[in-house]
Chains A and B, each alone.
Chain A
């Protein structure tokens, strides 16, 4: 059974870079059927897609984040990460990692999310 678990700091200072990791168990990141995804939910707001990662390292980002986001695969192939620079209070959100079925375009597994607060 696939499980995804987000980890990282719960508190980030303004202007700093957020680094989150998603640990995958029960599946291989190297499957060509899937993208691996980061999504966030600001308090009281809806979901927002951040970007997709293919195991080869190819990435696709929401244009709203392109200038300050990096999603990458760990060499162990059991984790992937999100880096978001120049954090502001508007980036306070619940951050989810997920698995996305390519060519059918749906998310079939989600992590429970990790809350990140941006504050000095």
Chain B
């Protein structure tokens, strides 16, 4: 399966919002409500921030929100903080116990 498509970079000033898209196909993103998002600070373990498209794990600030329309899922980070500067990856279930990741988006807080 092909990787999901994410923009390589996104940026915003503190307090602003940034939205990252994750585009797949009807065989993955569009076919299942099993899209998750991960925050990765290099050198650390990636962290789950959104699962099942819109759900937030306990402890994840409500500044992080997810959505999906058709074959494209999105992650929005509202009220950007310097600590949000990281790489963000989407992942989707792709049927038959397959998983597929996005290429990652580097978020810079200006």
Give chain A's interface residues, CB within 8 Å of chain B. Answer: 37, 39, 45-49, 52, 60, 62-63, 96, 100-101, 104-113
Most buried by B among A62, A105, A107, A111: A105
Asked if B52 contacts A48 (CB within 8 A), the reply is no
Asked if B45 contacts A111 (CB within 8 A), the reply is yes
Chain B interface residue count, CB cutoff 8 Å, equals 28
Q: Provide the bound-state CA to CA distance between A104 and B92, in Å.
A: 11
A-B Cβ contacts below 8 A, count: 72
* Chain B binding surface SS class: loop
Known contacts A110-B46, A113-B45; A47 and B89 CB within 8 A of each other = yes
Q: Considering the complex, give the chain A residue whose CB is closest to the CB of B97.
A: A60
Q: Does B104 contact A (CB under 8 A)?
A: yes
Q: Provide the bound-state CA to CA distance between A100 and B91, in Å.
A: 12
Q: Provide the bound-state CA to CA distance between A68 and B81, in Å.
A: 43
